[in-house]
């Protein structure tokens, strides 16, 4: 008899993904025509309907509303006491704390809640006043805690990628500089997989631990991860990879110089970035990266699908570590592939910074661009598309959009473009059309 897993309200590789209506579209019971409902942000609105279970939709929405009354908490919380903000939705991390119900409305409060192992709120333990009018020594949190409240996601993502790349590069350098006396190629595969697992455990609760620009873009398109966060995530992923590679070089520099007497790309460069073998054609190298990234993308959506067979609580990171090991063992021989654009670009930049030749960016007609980035992102999108076409039933995937929801998305894009071009009249007309629900009827098949 299976146990029902708690609903996760945040995007994280450490758990299943939330089921959300992405564009704020739902049908009115009166005329069954789609109309627009204000949504706080793409990917963060009400519970998404399931395509083959329309009759269960009302019951699921009813249960979701009652579950939300207990507090929108991360289901991976394991401590008994958790300090949490009272937010209207998952994206209100940066809003101010809500006012107290006392006679001093300018005093705001922070709530200490009792949370069980499944992340469910079991009651309020204490309330604590906080506000700008309090003396510094009376405030429960210092200024850094308030700054971190705004930067938790990028900081966590940066830290996770830094640890992952640091361990991955150091194990490669250990094997290369010791001339296989400390391990072999299999050692690097296993170590890289466990490094990936550790990074998810570190950053999963803070940022979601995507660790990969391809997965970040895929989750934005197929699961509604907020698009405005994607550039920030990609930047800190590359920065974290750069930081990790610099740290790895700093402790292995003497070993590298002892082995070669210089920084030689053909010798130790492969510890930092990907470089296909000389006998591998460009087409084979591209397809290898594409398929490796596709497996990562497909498996990521499968492991995050609560309606499939997700791992038990706390096991997602371990399974992802095994996934990274398996894909590396199977596909990385030809290209040295990491199937992660940031894992290639960050250390490649670090290699340039520490003194490797700058022509490592020109190898194979700029392999770094069309290989790890082009094939890596395309492969992740391909894997996500295949999984949603074959398996996924949730309403948040574009693959399952109804005709009306496609119309809403098209109109919203037109409204945004018109506003950007200064066509405010056209933008208001489109917004009025969305609010009134005046959409074209669905064509008959």
CA-based torsion, 377, 350, 320, 205: positive or negative: negative
| pLDDT range class, residue 226, cuts 50, 70, 90 | confident
Question: For residue 360, is pLDDT > 80?
Answer: yes
| Mean predicted confidence (pLDDT) in 127-150 | 69
Q: Are 346 and 239 in contact (CB under 8 A)?
A: yes
Cα gap 149→137, rounded to integer Å: 20
| Mean predicted confidence (pLDDT) in 85-102 | 43
For the record, the structure tokens of 297 come out as 């993308």
Cα gap 67→309, rounded to integer Å: 22
Please report where in the chains the tokens 């699921």 appear, as a residue.
Answer: 60
For the record, the structure tokens of 112 come out as 């200490």
Q: What is the pLDDT of residues 263-279, one digit of tens each?
A: 999 999 999 999 999 99
The better pLDDT of the pair 103, 136 is held by 136
Q: Where are the alpha helices (DSSP H) in 261-375?
A: 265-268, 282-303, 316-335, 341-354, 363-368
| pLDDT range class, residue 82, cuts 50, 70, 90 | very low
CATH superfamily of 151-398: Glycerol uptake facilitator protein. (1.20.1080.10)
Question: For residue 348, is pLDDT > 80?
Answer: yes
Please report where in the chains the tokens 């038990």 appear, as a residue.
Answer: 312
Q: Are 16 and 305 in contact (CB under 8 A)?
A: yes
Please, which residues bridge with residue 205 across strands? none
| Mean predicted confidence (pLDDT) in 395-401 | 85
| Mean predicted confidence (pLDDT) in 156-179 | 96
CA 19 to chain centre: 15
| pLDDT range class, residue 39, cuts 50, 70, 90 | very low
Q: What pLDDT was estimated at residue 442? A: 59
What is the number of residues in the chain?
445
| Mean predicted confidence (pLDDT) in 358-385 | 94
| pLDDT range class, residue 21, cuts 50, 70, 90 | low
Cα gap 370→306, rounded to integer Å: 34
Per-domain boundaries in the chain: 81-141, 151-398
Helix (H, G, I), strand (E, B) or coil at 217: helix
Q: What is the pLDDT of residues 291-336, one digit of tens each?
A: 999 999 999 999 988 888 878 778 999 999 999 999 999 999 999 8
| Mean predicted confidence (pLDDT) in 155-180 | 95
Instruction: Please name which of 336, 72, 338 lies closest in space to residue 215, comparing C-alpha atoms.
Output: 338
| pLDDT range class, residue 410, cuts 50, 70, 90 | confident
Instruction: Please name which of 273, 275, 274, 277 lies closest in space to residue 350, comparing C-alpha atoms.
Output: 273
Cα gap 294→339, rounded to integer Å: 9
- Our CA dihedral for 55, 59, 61, 64, rounded to 10 degrees, sits at -150
Q: What pLDDT was estimated at residue 133? A: 60
Backbone angles phi, psi at 2, to 5 degrees: -75, 155
Q: Mean pLDDT: which of 8-17, 110-119, 246-255 is highest?
A: 246-255
Q: How many CB atoms lie within 10 A of CB 21?
A: 21
Instruction: Please name which of 277, 259, 237, 263 lies closest in space to residue 352, comparing C-alpha atoms.
Output: 263
- Our CA dihedral for 363, 369, 372, 375, rounded to 10 degrees, sits at -120
- Looking at the chain, the whole-number percentage of residues with pLDDT higher than 70 is 69
Q: Are 270 and 349 in contact (CB under 8 A)?
A: no
Cα gap 405→26, rounded to integer Å: 8
CA-based torsion, 90, 94, 96, 97: positive or negative: positive
Question: For residue 137, is pLDDT > 80?
Answer: no
Burial class (CB in 10 A: 0-12, 13-18, 19+), 306: middle
């Amino acid at each position: 008899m299976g146990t029902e897993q708690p609903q996760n309200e945040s995007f994280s590789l450490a758990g299943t993904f939330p089921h959300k209506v992405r564009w704020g579209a739902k049908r009115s019971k009166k005329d069954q025509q789609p109309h627009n409902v204000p949504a706080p942000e793409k990917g963060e609105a009400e519970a998404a309907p399931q395509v083959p279970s329309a009759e269960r939709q009302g019951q699921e929405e009813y249960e979701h509303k009652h579950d939300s009354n207990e507090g929108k908490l991360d289901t991976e919380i394991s401590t008994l006491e958790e300090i949490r903000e009272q937010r209207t939705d998952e994206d209100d991390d940066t809003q101010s704390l809500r006012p107290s119900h006392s006679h001093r409305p300018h005093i705001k409060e922070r709530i200490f809640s009792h949370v069980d192992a499944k992340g469910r709120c079991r009651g309020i333990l204490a309330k604590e006043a906080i506000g700008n009018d309090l003396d510094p020594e009376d405030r429960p949190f210092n200024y850094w805690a308030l700054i971190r409240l705004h930067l938790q996601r990028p900081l966590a993502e940066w830290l996770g990628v830094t640890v992952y790349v640091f361990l991955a590069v150091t194990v490669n350098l250990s094997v290369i500089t010791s001339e296989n006396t400390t391990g072999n190629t299999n050692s690097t595969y296993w170590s890289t997989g466990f490094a990936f697992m550790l990074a998810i455990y570190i950053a999963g609760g803070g940022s979601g631990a995507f660790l990969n620009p391809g997965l970040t873009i895929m989750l934005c398109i197929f699961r509604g991860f907020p698009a405005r966060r994607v550039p920030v995530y990609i930047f800190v992923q590359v920065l974290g990879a750069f930081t990790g590679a610099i740290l790895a070089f700093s402790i292995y520099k003497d070993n590298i110089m002892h082995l070669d007497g210089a920084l030689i790309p053909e010798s130790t460069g492969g510890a930092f970035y990907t470089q296909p073998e000389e006998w591998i054609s460009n087409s084979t190298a591209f397809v290898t990266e594409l398929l490796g990234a596709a497996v990562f993308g497909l498996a990521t959506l499968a492991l995050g699908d609560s309606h499939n067979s997700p791992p038990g609580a706390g096991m997602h990171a371990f399974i992802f570590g095994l996934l990274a090991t398996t894909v590396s063992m199977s596909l990385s021989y030809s290209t040295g592939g990491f199937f992660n654009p940031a894992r290639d670009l960050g250390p490649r930049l670090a290699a340039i910074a520490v003194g490797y030749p700058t022509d490592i960016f020109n190898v194979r007609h700029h392999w770094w661009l069309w290989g790890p980035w082009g094939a890596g992102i395309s492969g992740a999108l391909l894997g996500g598309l295949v999984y949603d076409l074959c398996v996924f039933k949730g309403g948040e995937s574009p693959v399952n959009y109804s005709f009306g929801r496609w119309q809403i998305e098209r109109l919203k894009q037109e409204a945004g473009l018109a506003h950007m071009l200064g066509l405010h009249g056209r933008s208001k007309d489109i917004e009025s059309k969305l609010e009134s629900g005046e959409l074209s009827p669905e064509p008959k098949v």
